[in-house]
A and B are shown apart, each in its own frame.
Chain A
Amino acid sequence: AQTVTQSQPEMSVQEAETVTLSCTYDTSESDYYLFWYKQPPSRQMILVIRQEAYKQQNATENRFSVNFQKAAKSFSLKISDSQLGDAAMYFCAYRSEKSDGNKLVFGAGTILRVKS
C-alpha cells in the first residue's frame, strides 16, 4: 500500500518570503499523480498543484512550484512571495494511475503560518 509522509507538522514564514514544505511517499508503482492540497480554516480542500510522475518537468502554478524527485520519492512544495492568505493546512497526496478508483492517499499535513 502507498504511504505519504509529511515530516513537518508546522512551518512559519514571513510575509513575502519563500517557504518549502516537504513530502515523501512510498510506492512500488511507476505511474501515479502527486498533489498538494490547501485546507484553510474554513475546511474546504483546494487543489494547489499536481504533478504527473511521467513528467520530468516540475509543475508550476503562479507562486507555487514543486520539486519532484522520482528516484528519491520526494515531492516538495515551494511557495514564493508568501501572502497572509497562504496560511492553511497543506496536504500532500498520492493517486495511483491504476484502475483503483483514483482515490487519494494523504499525508498528515503541515500547518503553515504566515507572519506579517
Chain B
Amino acid sequence: DTGVSQNPRHKITKRGQNVTFRCDPISEHNRLYWYRQTLGQGPEFLTYFQNEAQLEKSRLLSDRFSAERPKGSFSTLEIQRTEQGDSAMYLCASSLGGAVPGAFFGQGTRLTVV
C-alpha cells in the first residue's frame, strides 16, 4: 500500500492521559501536514513539516500538542494531558513539495477523550 497510513485508527483515552499518533506519508513526499476535524466541520490545519523541519504551527496547536518528524519520513503527534475538547479526528496528509498542488490524506485517527 503506497498511500498515507495512520495509526491507530481509533483511540479512547481518559482525560489527563497522554496519547501519541503516528503518520507514515507517501514515501517520496517531503511535506507532511496534520489537520484536526471535528464532527460536521472541515479539517483545520495544525502544523506542517518540510522534510524534518517543522515550518509552521497553527494557533490551534496549544503547548499540550507536539509534533515531530525526526528523519523526514514518518511523523508523530503527541497530545499531553488530554481534555474532552481534544476529541476529534486527526488527519495526516502528505505532498510532494509545491510541484503537485493538492495533498493526499490518510484515513485519520479518531480520538475520544472520556
Residues of chain A touching chain B, judged by Cβ–Cβ distance below 8 Å, are 4, 33, 35, 37, 42-47, 50, 52, 91, 93, 95, 100-109
Query: Shortest distance in angstroms between A94's beta carbon and chain B's nearest beta carbon?
Result: 11
Q: List 5 A-B contacts (CB under 8 A).
A: A95-B102, A101-B56, A102-B98, A103-B45, A106-B43
A33 CA to B33 CA, complexed, in Å: 17
| Contact between chains at B31 and A101 (CB < 8 Å) | yes
Query: Shortest distance in angstroms between B35's beta carbon and chain A's nearest beta carbon?
Result: 8
Please give, as numbers and ranges, the residues of chain B lying within 8 Å of A105 by CB-CB distance: 45
Question: Between A and B, how many residue pairs show CB distances below 8 Å?
Answer: 64
Q: What total of chain B residues lie within 8 Å of the partner, measured CB to CB?
A: 27
Dominant SS among interface residues on chain A = strand
| Contact between chains at A45 and B105 (CB < 8 Å) | yes
A103 CA to B48 CA, complexed, in Å: 8
| Contact between chains at B45 and A102 (CB < 8 Å) | no
Please give, as numbers and ranges, the residues of chain A lying within 8 Å of B101 by CB-CB distance: 33, 35, 50, 52, 95, 102
List the 6 shortest-distance A-B pairs measured between CB atoms, nearest first.
A106-B42, A45-B105, A44-B107, A33-B101, A103-B45, A101-B48
Residue of B with least CB distance to A100 = B56
